[in-house]
Amino acid sequence: MQQEYDAVIVGAGGEGLYAALEASGSGRVAVISKLFPVRSHTGTAQGGIGAALGNLEEDKPEWHAFDTIKGGDYLVDQGAAAILAEEAIQAVYDLENLGLPFSRTPDGRIDQRRFGGHTRNFGEAPVRRACYAADRTGHMILQTLYQQCIKNEVDFYNEYFAVDLLLDGPTCKGLVVLELASGELHTIRAKAVMLATGGFGRMFKTTSNAYANTGDGLALALRRGVSLEDMEFYQFHPTGIAGMGILITEAVRGEGGILRNRQGEAFMAKYAPKLLDLAPRDMISKAILSELKAGNGMRGDRQIDDYVLLDATTLGKEVVEEKIPDIADFCRTYLGIDPVTQPIPVQPTAHYGMGGIPTDTDGRVLRGEGEDRYLGLYAAGECACVSVHGANRLGTNSLVDLVVFGRRAGRHIADYIERTDLGRAPDGSDAYSRDKIARLKSGKGVHGGAIREEMQKTMMEEVGVIREGAAMRRAIAKIEELRDRYREARVQDGGSAFNTDLLELLELENLLDLSLVTAEAALRREESRGGHTREDFPERDDGKWLKHSLARLADGHPSGRVEFEYKGVDTSLYPPKPRVY
Amino acid sequence: MRVTFEIMRFDPEKDAAPHAESYELELESGSKVLDGLVYIKTYIDGGLGFRKSCAHGICGSDAMIIDGQERLACKTLLRELGASEGSRIRIGPLKGLPVQRDLMVDQDKFFEAYRAVKPFLINDEKVEGRERRQSPAEREAIDDPTKCILCGSCYSACPIVQEKNPDFIGPAAVLNAARFVFDSRDRGLGARLPVLDRPEGVWACESKFRCTEVCPRGIKVTKSINLTKRRIESLKK
């Protein structure tokens, strides 16, 4: 591959592809991805992309912004949420114009449906805001953007894995990547690098996330001294298939599906009397856990891995086949049941990291708690934190986020690379990466597989939906022990070509670092807010905790301690209020 | 239950030719084949090469040949294979594409054919700031091909690609052309003809239906190919 680019985008999900499209007109741009195109996790998003088009009933971007802020339990930076909601509208029209096959209304407009937490007139009742393409909206976004990249001849490097980021003080100089096919390391100089590597749900045992979601971009930024924001806020989606984590879209409830406990009771009426099954995800996941603990789960054994039922039998065959066909296929394939006639066993499933690499609304990575920014370093999508999701993301807003802020980052990169010279990468830039890989390949050691499984179990049980101080202290001690054991881990495969054993060991390091930061951040936040629920601190505490956390590794090295600072939240539009649905 | 996975192994740095290796493992009838492969990689042989990502049949990474047929490892449960105590499950890479390592094949030729059909909306007409209108019936006409995940199963199963005309662009490429040819918003049939209307294009297909039989997304691939042939014929009349 070339050793010099104007911009390199790491990750080929929606935000990476949109940024590449925007920036590729202004210079030489490469997308590197550890997967092949259209394999990225954007493609699994099901239910919809929220935008106040008002195609079926009145809707306004102000309402969408308010719902996003309230849904995020007021930890959202409100100016960013206003941009998200405002630009969502044109973004959806642009995607349609680029060919995205949205489902349609009888008069040929983009159809819209209800989704959790999206309301009209500041919380009055559910509104039809989610634009969708059956239940494969993310698949169609990913395909449409990749198709546009083909049209615009964007350069792709498939199956290249980012190992290190080259930072010279505040300036990004490029990155070091591992080529899977050959096992070679390449140092790429670039004026701009954008991290678009998606989520890190694989730190948990039961997750909707792909094997590839190992937080690579966050971890390599973290190890180079970049702070990560709000890592304690992780979303557990209420309706993963019990025991498997395969996601059953919220659109099932948007179309009329109802959650029931072992008595057959539609229990959400007790927790969210107005929005019922369309309350935000954090509230529904907590409600399910409460039901399980009260012995109302289907097994009734009060264990957190018990489950409840999602009843879609009222939808009728036609709606199921037309509006949620892939969901029906998942149920038939993996459960051997037909959702038209049988309810689906579901439980909360690790799904989405609200926190991430702190950025401004142009995707520029922030330094510390002030307004300082890195030069030439960008991030967008799930790996970034703008912060539009605050303490809990609303359904459909991940797709809005990656389209709106992926594109904004791409535009800023286009401008930046036109007025910046390509700098020198320091000599020996790849020494750190070479040493790391040489160590993982030297001699015999433990295999990473067992470490990974223990990490996933620990995070799921001790840093999951419901958290508590002593359990999290245990988790931190365990993760520290696993990180020590990782230093003795070695690949079993000493080869060079297509060494996926090495790749997985590098991914494990990323997950271990992020697990530690997540658990430490969660232990420190002594309140309950959005997706972060503490048994020992059950109330939201705006006096002490209406602030973003920023975590960094103390000496910028994996063996370092985690240190914290905090920064304020932009509450310029709507002052925080109690959150009732 | 105790089953044996018999996997075709090939390491370009060590092996002159592929060979089968057997692994005994404990799985349940509801386990996916992918679970077994991950178990082997985690606890028996970290060097086993295969691709995976979403693990529920959407990303298209893990198409391979399982018990003689193209399938996604993440969407194939042992009970579907009729597996019971002591069963042997044979797993190999897709056909028609060079093996890179074990179950990984070089997909360049497959993706090249996809890119060649110009799989993007072609339409230079102005739009007035909102969406182009499309009726639900017009949208329905392209629904089936939009399900394609580019996993390569149909390409591997196609007897034309494998036995008769290796330069055939393959079922997936034609299907993805059809996704646009039949889109009421698209104006690009003419631009796609040089690739479609030739012996290596749609005319290579002899309607053997293997693509439709193996498609893990249940797409009626052959039907889309035939509709595309008819559209090209009617254009020429």
CB-closest option in A41, A97, A497 to B132: A97
What residues in B contact A499, CB-CB < 8 Å?
Answer: 47
| Res. A200: pLDDT tops 70 | yes
Contact call for B130 and A140, based on CB within 8 A: no
Task: Kindly tell me if the per-residue pLDDT of A53 is higher than 60.
Answer: yes
Q: Pick from B120, B129, B138: which is nearest to A99 by CB?
A: B120
pLDDT < 50: residue spans in chain B: none
Mean pLDDT of chain B: 97
Cβ within 8 Å of residue A238, ≥6 positions away: A259, A281, A284, A285, A287, A288, A346, A348
User: In the prediction, which pLDDT does A428 show?
Assistant: 83
b/e code B9-42 from CB counts within 10 Å (16+ = b): bbbeeeeeeeeeeebebebeeebbbbbbbbbbbb
Band (pLDDT 50/70/90 cuts) for residue A27 is very high
Judging contacts by C-beta atoms under 8 Å, the chain B residues touching residue A328 are none
| Contact (CB<8Å) B59/A134 | no
Interface contact flag, A497 B100, Cβ < 8 Å: yes
Mean pLDDT of A539-555: 94
Q: Percent helix, strand and coil across chain B, each rounded to 5? A: 40, 15, 45
ipTM surpasses cut 0.85? yes
Total beta-carbon pairs less than 8 A apart between chain A and chain B: 154
> What are the φ and ψ backbone dihedral angles of A150, each rounded to 5 degrees?
-65, -50
Three-state secondary structure readout of A40-96: CHHHHCCCCEECCCCCCCCCCHHHHHHHHHHHCCCCCCHHHHHHHHHHHHHHHHHHH
Taking residues A98-102, report their average pLDDT. 97
Give the per-residue pLDDT at A425. 74
List, for residues B21-51, the tens digit of each pLDDT value: 999 999 999 999 999 999 999 999 999 999 9
Residues 6+ apart with CB under 8 A from A160: A1, A32, A33, A34, A177, A178, A179, A180, A186
- For chain B, give every domain's residue range: 2-105, 108-236
A529 is annotated as an active-site residue: no
CA A181-A185-A188 angle, to 5 degrees, is 115
CA distances from A353 to A343, A405, A475, A514, A579 (A): 29, 16, 18, 11, 21
Residue spans of beta strands (DSSP E) within B143-230: none
Residues 6+ apart with CB under 8 A from A484: none
Q: Kindly determine whether residue B45 and residue A492, on different chains, have CB atoms separated by under 8 Å.
A: yes
| pLDDT(A342) > 90 | yes
Put simply, the answer to whether A333 touches B101 (Cβ < 8 Å) is no
Q: Residue B105's closest chain A neighbor by CA? A: A498
Give the domain ranges of chain A. 239-348
Task: With H, G, I as helix, E, B as strand and everything else as coil, classify residue A543.
Answer: helix
Set A223, A260, A281, A393: catalytic member: A281
Q: Which residue has the higher pLDDT, A138 or A447?
A: A138
CA distance A169 to chain B (A): 35
A456-506 confidence digits (pLDDT tens): 999 999 999 999 999 999 999 999 999 999 999 999 999 999 999 999 999
Closest partner CB to B139 (pick from A35, A104, A499): A104
Q: What is the pLDDT of residue A556?
A: 54
**Contact of A267 with A260, CB cutoff 8 Å:** yes
- Reported as a single tens digit per residue, the pLDDT across A407-447 is 999 999 999 999 999 988 777 889 999 999 999 999 888 88
pLDDT of res. A561 = 87
> In sequence order, what are the beta bridge partners of A29?
A7
Cβ <8 Å between A449 and B47: no
- pLDDT higher than 60, residue A120: yes
Phi, psi (degrees; rounded to nearest 5) at A499: -85, 85
Distance of residue A481 Cα from the nearest chain B Cα, in angstroms: 20
Least confident of A155-169, A540-554, A557-571: A557-571
Q: Which residues of B touch A41 (CB under 8 A)?
A: 53-54, 59
pLDDT score, position A559: 59
Q: How many residues does chain B have?
A: 237
Query: What would the pLDDT profile of A276-314 be if each residue is shown by its tens digit?
Result: 999 999 999 999 999 999 999 999 999 989 999 999 999
- B59/A501 CB distance under 8 A: no
- CATH class of the structural domain B2-105: alpha beta
Question: Helix, strand, or coil here: A285?
Answer: helix
Q: Do B120 and A93 touch (CB under 8 A)?
A: no
CATH T-level assignment (fold) for domain B108-236: Fumarate Reductase Iron-sulfur Protein; Chain B, domain 2 (1.10.1060)
Residue with tokens 């401008």: A415
**Nearest CA-CA distance, residue A557 and chain B, Å:** 27
* A309-337 pLDDT tens trace: 999 999 999 999 999 999 999 999 999 99
Q: Which of B56, B61, B192 to mutate to test the interface with A (most CBs of A within 10 A)?
A: B56
> What pLDDT is recorded for position B193?
97
Which fold, A239-348? Flavocytochrome C3; Chain A, domain 1 (3.90.700)
Q: What is the pLDDT of residue A368?
A: 81
The partner residues of A289 in beta bridges, in order of sequence, read none
Distances (CA, A) of A534 to A200, A288, A462, B48: 22, 16, 11, 42
Report chain A's mean pLDDT, rounded to a whole number.
Answer: 95
The nearest alpha carbon in chain B to A157 belongs to B108
- A558 pLDDT more than 70: no
* Strand A155-158, strand A171-179: pairing: unpaired
What are the tens digits of pLDDT across the range A208-224? 999 999 999 999 999 99
Chain A residues close to B132, C-beta within 8 Å: 96-97
